[in-house]
Amino acid sequence: MSESYEKLRRRRKPKSPSPAPTRKEADLYIDVSVAPGRAGRIAVNRGDNPRELADGFAKTFQLDKQAKEALVRLLVENMRALFG
């Protein structure tokens, strides 16, 4: 039995690690100053929903509703300028 096991073990090829998923470069990066010494970056791609981007950023940086709405306006303006 151990001979059979050894033969099988030698025949099996080790699995190669799957390649890490590659990230596509964003169409636009927007750096947002949240507070003195505190900033974040939003990666924006064509077709992104500005409100969803702002929601995620606001949640991460604990922004209030007013700051989040200002961020939505900023995203819309920049996306219109770039994507039309």
Per-domain boundaries in the chain: 26-84
CATH 3.40.50.2300: does it fit domain 26-84? no
Give yes or no for residue 14 having a pLDDT over 90: no
Do residues 75 and 54 touch, judged by C-beta distance below 8 A? yes
Question: What's the average model confidence in pLDDT over 13-26?
Answer: 69
Q: pTM for the full model? A: 0.71
- DSSP of 24-67: PPPSEEEEEEEETTEEEEEEE-TT--HHHHHHHHHHHHT--HHH
pLDDT digits (tens, 9 = 90+) for 29-62: 999 999 999 999 999 999 999 999 999 999 999 9
